[in-house]
Amino acid sequence: MVCFLWIVLIIVFLVLTFKYYFGTTRWCKSTVKLNGKTALITGGNIGIGKATAIDLANRGARVIIASRNKEKAIQTIREIYEKTGNDNISFMYLDLMDLEVVRQFAKQFLKEEKRLDILINNSGIAEWAYKTIGPKTKQNYDLIFGVNHLGHFLLTYLLLDLLKKTRNSRVINISSLRNLWRRSPLKYDKGPNNDGMLYPDLSGYDTSKLANIMHSKMLSKILQGTHVTANSVHPGLVATDIIMTPLKSVLPEKLYLVFDPWFRFFSLDCTAGAQTTIFAAVDESLTTVTGKYFGHCRLAWDNKLAQDDEACQQLWDYSMKMCGLT
């Protein structure tokens, strides 16, 4: 009997420990207002991006939602207005799978907008997209790496002058705990492979999330002295479509119905998952903090590969090449 009780206590301890580190969050405590400031959020129409957009709108910011799904974005804009009373929310079409579309977006944005205080590179896809969309981007790069890293890399680069002009602006790249899963150094063999994909080693979700952190670290160095900061964050374990969609597609319906509530117990909802993004975007203590990686509204451990300055520089150089910037 005593042995059984010890086993139960150990299980409870492990469950609560897991939930504390992965399924809980610290909340952004900043009450700063953003009136007169402009925020651009990719993928701001759903999930964590939507929760972030609601918060920034509630602070008075002009929020621009960039996504492929206009219908969903319009619905989100209506919901934001109903919740916040802020009618200064707009939609711009952006397809991160096509670098030419990214260029067109940036050109239009620079033509229409006079400032950019907060750029949140939030949009992301995971492995399920291979089945629903295909393996490659328009430019024949891995789909996930192309959307999660290259599209945002080019977008940020094209908006750098406006960010500098605005001053005291912030770039936030949304990474993931899965950046830790990439163990081997990035390789830059151009290929193509048998599927016609260029740079085949630069593929998959883990690699793209590592690249988000490395991108932020290089930006922080390049932007020194410009009053623009660049940081990356992980939202924690969040029940978003990136996780739930593939699970629903592979699990039998009855098993998914059992699994779903358990997973949601251990994970965060989108509002909680957005807190670290919001923290990085608005907290007054981070005005000059740059090149850091945050989770649960505090500094977090990142992949050792992201701590290699030479590797970060190499990724930057190849990203410039892949985006046609050199």
**CATH at 223:** 3.40.50.720
Burial class (CB in 10 A: 0-12, 13-18, 19+), 85: exposed
The Cα 7–Cα 1 span in angstroms is: 10
Which candidate, 293, 264, 260, 265, places its Cα nearest to that of 279? 293
Q: Which of 4-8, 48-52, 63-67, 94-98 has the lowest mean pLDDT?
A: 4-8
Query: CA–CA separation, 301 vs 310, rounded Å?
Result: 19
**In the prediction, which pLDDT does 40 show?**
99
pLDDT single digits (tens) 101-121? 999 999 999 999 999 999 999
Quickly count: other Cβ atoms within 10 Å of residue 117's Cβ.
22
How far is C-alpha 305 from the geometric centre of its chain's CA atoms? 19
pLDDT at 5: 53
CA distance 117 to 62: 10
pTM of the model: 0.89
Q: Is 205 a catalytic residue?
A: yes
Both tokens of 144, joined, read: 């996930």
pLDDT score of 129: 85
Looking at residue 313, its pLDDT comes to: 99
Q: How far apart are CA 268 and CA 19, in angstroms?
A: 9
Query: pLDDT at residue 4 above 60?
Result: no
Instruction: Using DSSP bridges, classify how beta strands 62-67 and 38-42 pair: parallel, antiparallel or unpaired.
Output: parallel
Query: Residues 175-201, buried b or exposed e (16+ Cβ, 10 A)?
Result: bbbbbbebeeebeeeeeeeeeebbbbb
pLDDT category at 12 given cuts 50, 70, 90 is: very low
Please say if the pLDDT value at position 19 is more than 50. no
> Which is higher by pLDDT, 269 or 37?
37
CA 39 and chain centroid, separation: 15
**Which of the following is catalytic: 20, 205, 293, 318?**
205
Segment (H or E) for 67: strand 62-67
* Segment among 147-151, 212-216, 234-238, 309-313 with least mean pLDDT: 234-238
Confidence of residue 1 (pLDDT cuts 50, 70, 90): low
Reported as a single tens digit per residue, the pLDDT across 265-298 is: 777 899 999 999 999 999 999 999 999 999 999 9
Examine residue 309 and state whether it is found in any structural domain, yes or no: yes
Is residue 181 domain-resident?
A: yes
Q: What are phi and psi of 200, to 5 degrees?
A: -60, -25
- At 129, the amino acid letter reads A
pLDDT of residue 13: 45
Cα separation, 36 vs 90, whole angstroms? 15
For 170-188, how does the pLDDT look when each residue is reduced to its tens digit (9 = 90+)? 999 999 999 999 999 999 9
Which stretches does DSSP call E strand in 68-159? Answer: 89-93, 118-121
Evaluate whether residue 278 is within a structural domain.
Answer: yes
Instruction: Report residue 149 CA to chain centroid gap.
Output: 9
Assigned domain for 186 exists: yes
Report which residue type is found at 156. T
Average pLDDT estimate for 246-259: 69
**Does residue 245 contact residue 128 with C-beta atoms inside 8 Å?**
yes
Q: Put residue 32 in one of left, alpha, beta given phi > 0 → left and psi -120 to 50 → alpha.
A: beta
Q: What is the pLDDT of residue 185?
A: 97
Model pLDDT, residue 132: 84
Q: How many domains does the chain have?
A: 1
Tell me whether residue 200 is in a domain: yes
- 6 SS3 class: helix
Mean predicted confidence (pLDDT) in 208-235: 98
Distance CA 324, CA 326 (A): 6
Least confident of 24-33, 243-252, 305-314, 316-325: 243-252
Band of pLDDT at residue 26, cut at 50, 70 and 90: confident
Domain membership flag for residue 127: yes
Q: Is residue 30 part of a domain?
A: no
- Tens of pLDDT along 52-85? 999 999 999 999 999 999 999 999 999 999 999 9
Segments forming the whole domain that contains residue 197? 35-322
Give the tokens for residue 129.
């997209």
User: Cis ω on the peptide bond leading into residue 192 (within 30° of 0)?
Assistant: yes
pLDDT higher than 80, residue 87? yes
pLDDT at 264: 64
Residue 134 lies in a domain: yes
* Helix, strand, coil distribution of the chain in percent, nearest 5: 50, 15, 35
Q: Which residue has the higher pLDDT, 11 or 318?
A: 318
